[in-house]
Structure 1
Amino acid sequence: MFSLTLASLSPADPLRWLAQGWRDLVRCPRIGLFCGACFALMGQALWQAFQHPPAYVLALSAGFLRMGPFLALGLYDASRALDRQTDAESAALTSLRAGLQNPGVMFLWGALITGLCALAMLPAFLGLLVVGPVLGHATWHAYRHIVPAPVAALPDKSAVTP
């Protein structure tokens, strides 16, 4: 994982990842819209909890923070199934390395995620129905771009007997 060569990034890359995330949502809408609906419903539940005693807010906030990453993993798995296999831990550690290697582009990526999530929450969290899955898929495409696929080894011709 630490020996992987990471790609150099350009400021246009985050927009490319978002476009690829949108294409994945269109290609595989059921799982994406299910996860998006879960994000939107959790946001609504959290908003309703703010209308009640603080204990409810704390419990639902903790639940929301724990469920979000698990739902996103389902989206990563859908994108990964369309591409290549890796585990979530390796992907997370490699993402940290990418942030250190390309801080400007990764800051832009984080700002886009933050801005899109904020906008998605404005219409009663309904924007999360689409924004959540697109960001989930796009994050996988970011990882895939940052960590180029390994080149398949060609068979050794000297080992082949005539």
Structure 2
Amino acid sequence: MANPNDGAKPAMPEVVAITGADIRAAIMQGLNDFARAPLFGLFFGGVFALGGMVIVLGLTIWRVPWMIYPFAIGFPLIGPFAAVGLYEVSRRLEQGQPLDWKAVLAVVWHQRTRELSWMAFVMLFVFWIWMYQIRLLVALVLGRMSFATLERFLDVVFTTPQGWTFLAVGHVVGAILAMVLFSITVISIPLLLEREIDFVTAMITSVKSVLASPVAMIGWGVTVTALVLLSCVPFFLGLFVTLPVLGHATWHLYRRTVVA
């Protein structure tokens, strides 16, 4: 006899409230995972860092170096997706499974056929909106000013009234976009890696986790953003270490937030 539950949609994952103590514990677990599997961490952190270097080099070659500043601000938006391999490493360490390069990379590659690929589209779309609104603000607020170099662009935005307006509006819009993206991804990506659910359910669960613990979650988001931005200087090299630690920590934060 067929099971009446066959083909039924999975139940909505349950979330619980967390505190600052959970954030600190997750960071310590992330450090521990990085220490246990440093080569994996350096590899995935290096891929993200090298991607940033290539894009900055491209912006320089294309003679739009002024885009480096907004790019560096928005770059952390796609960090959670870049950490998928780190989530898998933490999951294997947690369950006592062997850490095999072929198996870990196979899991990452397999995500292109699962719901996680839709999350990549969502994240890149928000990142595109961020870069587009920067170009729009440049045209509207700084359109009459010329800046052929990054140094000239920074001089304009930090020393002129038009530049201050550009910074104020740009950072407000950026903060709104970052908060939206953070809310829908902080839990959804590790959740989609582990469970067979649709990406919309995963995003709803992620938003529910933020609403359940707004202070702790916003604190986590600010911490991640600050550390990633600091790691971009000089030339994204700090991401070799920062990204793996934060990636592992995010997995453990997910574990503390979503009921097993």
- Shorter-chain TM range is 0.7 to 0.9
Decide which structure has greater helix share: 2
Q: Among residues 91, 113, 116, which one is paired with 1:80 in the alignment?
A: 91
Q: Which residue is 2:188 aligned to?
A: none
- Count of residues paired in the alignment: 145
Q: 11-20 vs 96-105, which deviates more?
A: 11-20
Residue 144 of structure 1: how far off its partner (Å): 0.3
- How many angstroms apart in 1 are the aligned matches of 2:46 and 2:243? 9
| Structure 1 position 86, deviation (Å) | 2.0
Say what the alpha-carbon RMSD is for the aligned residues: 3.0
Of the structure 1 ranges 10-19 and 29-38, higher mean CA displacement relative to structure 2 is found in: 10-19
For the residues of structure 2 that align with 1:73 and 1:12, how far apart are their CA atoms? 24
How much does 1:7 deviate?
2.3
Cα 1:148–1:82 shift into 2, 3 Å: farther
Which residue is equivalent to 1:97? Answer: 208
Is structure 2 residue 140 aligned with structure 1 residue 131?
no
Post-superposition Cα deviations, 1:23-67, rounded to whole Å, max 9, x if no partner, equal: 111111121110011111112112212212279x8xxx7xx7898
For 2:50 and 2:94, locate their aligned partners in 1 and report how far apart those are by CA, in whole Å. 30
Name the CA distance, whole Å, in 2 between partners of 1:91 and 1:79: 20
Compute the displacement of 1:147 (Å).
Answer: 1.8
**Partner residue of 1:106?**
217
Task: Identify if the C-alpha distance between structure 1 residues 112 and 70 changes in structure 2 by more than 3 Å, giving closer, same or farther.
Answer: closer
SS in 1 for 2:83: helix
Identity among equivalent pairs (%): 39
Structure 1 residues 22 and 77: CA distance shift in structure 2, 3 A: same
Could you tell me which residue of structure 2 aligns to residue 26 of structure 1? 35
The equivalent of 2:15 in structure 1 is 6
Q: Which of 36, 48, 51 is the matching residue for 1:42?
A: 51
Structure 1 residues 76 and 124 mapped into 2: Cα distance closer, same or farther (>3 Å)? Answer: same
Give ranges in structure 2 of 5+ residues lacking alignment.
1-9, 96-192
Greater mean deviation of Cα atoms: 3-12 or 44-53: 3-12
How far is the alpha carbon of 1:95 from its aligned partner?
Answer: 2.4
- Distance, in Å, in 1 between the alignment partners of 2:78 and 2:219 is 25
Structure 1 residues 80 and 100, CA gap change in structure 2 (3 angstroms): same
Is contact 2:45-2:240 (8 Å) kept?
yes
TM-score, scaled to structure 2 = 0.48
The amino acid across from 2:239 in the alignment is L
**TM-score, with length taken from structure 1:** 0.74
- Cα deviation for residue 5 of structure 1 reads 3.6
Q: Which amino acid aligns with 1:49?
A: G
Instruction: Compare relative contact order (CA 8 Å, sep 6+) and give the higher one, 1 or 2.
Output: 1
Please show how residues 144-155 of structure 1 align to structure 2 within 5 Å.
144-149=255-260
Name stretches of at least 5 consecutive residues in structure 1 with no aligned partner. 150-162
Q: Cα distance, 1:78 vs. partner?
A: 1.0
User: How far apart are the structure 1 equivalents of 2:253 and 2:76?
Assistant: 22
Instruction: Return the alpha-carbon distance in structure 1 between the equivalents of residues 23 and 53 of structure 2.
Output: 28
Give the whole-Å Cα distance in 2 for the aligned partners of 1:118 and 1:53: 23
